[in-house]
C-alpha cells in the first residue's frame, strides 16, 4: 500500500470527519480553559512514515526551538498510535490558562500537555473512526520527549505502522497562540478499513 | 413567516468539504422543491448572494480564506443577508452566540446525519 491509496475525495472526507471531531474537542477545551478556541481547518495527508519523520525539519517547525511530544496508543475499531507535538510555547500558555502561573512545576506543566493531547488525539482518532461505527479505546497518554526522542520514535517500528496520517492542527486561544501537530500512525489493515468505510459512505450519499 | 408556496427554493450550500456539501444536500427535505447551488469558500458564497437570488444559505464556519463569521459580517454590512442556517462542527457556546448576533436564523451541529435541519426549517417558517 502506498501513500496514494486514499483518493483526494476520500482524504477530503477524512479531513471533514476529523474536523467534526475537532469541533467537539474545541468546545471541551473552551470550557476547561475559559477561552474561545479559534479552529482552523485541519490539514490532512497520508504519508510514508519516513517522510513524516522529516516533518520537524520543515515549515513552522524548521528552527531550533525545542518541542515536546506526547504519544498515545489506541485500539478497537482502529489500532495504531498517535503523537502530538507542541512547540515549547505551549507549556507556558497552557499552564497560564489553567491558572498555574509562571511558577508552575514541571509536573503541572506536563499534566497540562498530557490532558490537552488526550482530548485532541481522542477527537482526531474518533473522527477518523466515525464511519466504522465501532468504538475506539485509548491507552493513557505518555510523554515521549523532545526532538531527539520524536526522531527516534519515527525511525522505529516502521514495519508495523508504515503509513502516517499527518493532521495539522493549529490552535489559537484568543490572544495566545502555539503550534501543535498531531500524527496518527495506522497499520495497513486500519487504512484499508477506513478506505472501505469511506467508500460506502460516499457511495451512500451519491446514490440518494 | 414566509409564503410556503415555494416554486423552487434556491439553496446555497457553503462548505469547503465535498462530504459536508453532499451530506447537506441529502438532509434537505425531499418534499421541498429546491435548486441547489454550492460554494466552496467564503468569497464564492458572497459572490453568489450578491449576484443571484438565494432563499436559504447553509453556511459552514471553519473554511480556509474567508470563514463563516466573515461571510455573515460582509453580507450584513451590505444588507444582503439571506435566511441563513449555520452548520458547523464548532459547537462552542461563544461560536453559537457569535453567529446569532451576526444574523443567522439557527445553528446546527455538523454530523453525518443532520436530521434537525427539517425541524429548523419548519421553526424558521421556511418549510
d(CA A181, CA A53): 13
The whole-number average pLDDT for the span B55-83 is: 95
Q: Does position A3 have pLDDT exceeding 60, yes or no? A: no
- Phi then psi for residue A178, to 5 deg, are -150, 155
Q: Which architecture characterizes domain A8-207 according to CATH?
A: 3-Layer(aba) Sandwich (3.40)
Q: Does residue A150 have a pLDDT over 70?
A: yes
Query: pLDDT value at position A63?
Result: 63
What is the Cα–Cα distance from A74 to A186, expressed in whole angstroms? 10
Q: Structural domain boundaries of chain B?
A: 9-123
**CA-based radius of gyration for chain A:** 17
Could you tell me which chain B residue has the CA closest to the CA of A40?
Answer: B62
- In this prediction, residue A109 has a pLDDT band, given cuts at 50, 70 and 90, of confident
Cα end-to-end span (Å), chain B:
10
CATH superfamily entry for domain B9-123: Response regulator (3.40.50.2300)
In 3D space, the residue among B27, B33, B36, B35 whose CA is nearest the CA of residue B4 turns out to be B33
**Residues of chain B found within 8 Å of residue A170, distances taken between Cβ atoms:** none
Q: Does B113 touch chain A (CB under 8 A)?
A: no
Q: Which of A41, A131, A203 is the best substitution to test chain B (most B C-beta atoms within 10 A)?
A: A41
The complex's ipTM? 0.84
Residues of chain B in contact with residue A21, where contact means CB-CB under 8 angstroms, are 89
Give the DSSP per-residue string, A157-190: STTT--EEEEEEEEEEETTEEEEEEEEEEE-HHH
A166 vs A142: CA distance, rounded Å:
19
In this complex, do A27 and B93 lie within 8 Å of one another by their Cβ atoms?
yes
Give yes or no for B19 touching A (CB within 8 A).
yes
pLDDT tens per residue, range A72-98? 999 998 888 888 888 777 777 777 777
What one-character DSSP code corresponds to residue A139? P
Contact A130 B112 (CB under 8 A): yes
Output the 3-class SS for A51-72.
HHCCHHHCHHHCCCCCEEEEEE
Find residue A72's DSSP bridge partners.
Answer: A82
What CA–CA distance (Å, rounded) separates A189 from A176? 39
Q: Are strands B84-88 and B106-109 parallel, antiparallel or unpaired?
A: parallel
**Residue A194 is placed in which grid cell?**
477506513
How high is the pLDDT of residue A183?
83
**Cβ separation of A36 and B94 shorter than 8 Å?**
yes
The residues, any chain, with a CB within 8 Å of residue A156's CB and separated by 6 or more, are none
Mean predicted confidence (pLDDT) in B54-69: 94
Chain A residues in contact with B69 by the CB 8 A cut-off are none
Q: Identify all chain B residues contacting A202, using CB atoms and an 8 Å cutoff.
A: 19, 22
Please write the tens of the pLDDT for every residue from A156-186.
755 556 667 777 776 677 667 677 788 888 8
Q: What's the mean pLDDT in A121-131?
A: 89
Q: What 3-state DSSP class applies to A5?
A: coil
Alpha-carbon distance B59 to A73, whole Å? Answer: 36
List CB contacts of A171: < 8 A, sequence separation 6 or more: A29, A37, A38, A177, A178, A180
Report CB contact under 8 Å: A20, B111.
yes
Residue B1 reports pLDDT greater than 50: no
Strands (E), chain B: 9-14, 34-39, 56-59, 84-88, 106-109
Amino acid at each position: 500500500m502506498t501513500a496514494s491509496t486514499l483518493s483526494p475525495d476520500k482524504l477530503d472526507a477524512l479531513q471533514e470527519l476529523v474536523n467534526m471531531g475537532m469541533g467537539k474537542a474545541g468546545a471541551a477545551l473552551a470550557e476547561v480553559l475559559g477561552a474561545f478556541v479559534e479552529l482552523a481547518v485541519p490539514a490532512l495527508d497520508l504519508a510514508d512514515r519516513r517522510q513524516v519523520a522529516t516533518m520537524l525539519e520543515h515549515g513552522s517547525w524548521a528552527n531550533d526551538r525545542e518541542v515536546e511530544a506526547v504519544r498515545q496508543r489506541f485500539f478497537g475499531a482502529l489500532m495504531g498510535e498517535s503523537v502530538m507535538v507542541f512547540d515549547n510555547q505551549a507549556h507556558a500558555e497552557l499552564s497560564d490558562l489553567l491558572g498555574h502561573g509562571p511558577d508552575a512545576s514541571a509536573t503541572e506543566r506536563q499534566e497540562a500537555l498530557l490532558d490537552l493531547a488526550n482530548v485532541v488525539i481522542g477527537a482526531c482518532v474518533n473522527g477518523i473512526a466515525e464511519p466504522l461505527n465501532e468504538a475506539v479505546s485509548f491507552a493513557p497518554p505518555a510523554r515521549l520527549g523532545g526532538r531527539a526522542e520524536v526522531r527516534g520514535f519515527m525511525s522505529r517500528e516502521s514495519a508495523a505502522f508504515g503509513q502516517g496520517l499527518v493532521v495539522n492542527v493549529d490552535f489559537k486561544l484568543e490572544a495566545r497562540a502555539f503550534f501543535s501537530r498531531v500524527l496518527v500512525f495506522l497499520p495497513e489493515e486500519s487504512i484499508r478499513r477506513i478506505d472501505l468505510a469511506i467508500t460506502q459512505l460516499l457511495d451512500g450519499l451519491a446514490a440518494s | 413567516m414566509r409564503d410556503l408556496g415555494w416554486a423552487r427554493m434556491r439553496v446555497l450550500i457553503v462548505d469547503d468539504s465535498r462530504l459536508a456539501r453532499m451530506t447537506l444536500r441529502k438532509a434537505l427535505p425531499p418534499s421541498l422543491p429546491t435548486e441547489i447551488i454550492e460554494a466552496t469558500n467564503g468569497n464564492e458564497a458572497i459572490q453568489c448572494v450578491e449576484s443571484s437570488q438565494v432563499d436559504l444559505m447553509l453556511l459552514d464556519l471553519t473554511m480556509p480564506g474567508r470563514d463563516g463569521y466573515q461571510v455573515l459580517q460582509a453580507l450584513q454590512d451590505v444588507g444582503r443577508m439571506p435566511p441563513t442556517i449555520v452548520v458547523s462542527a464548532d459547537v462552542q457556546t461563544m461560536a453559537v452566540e457569535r453567529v446569532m448576533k451576526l444574523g443567522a436564523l439557527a445553528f446546527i451541529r455538523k454530523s453525518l446525519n443532520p436530521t434537525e435541519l427539517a425541524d429548523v426549517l419548519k421553526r424558521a417558517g421556511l418549510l
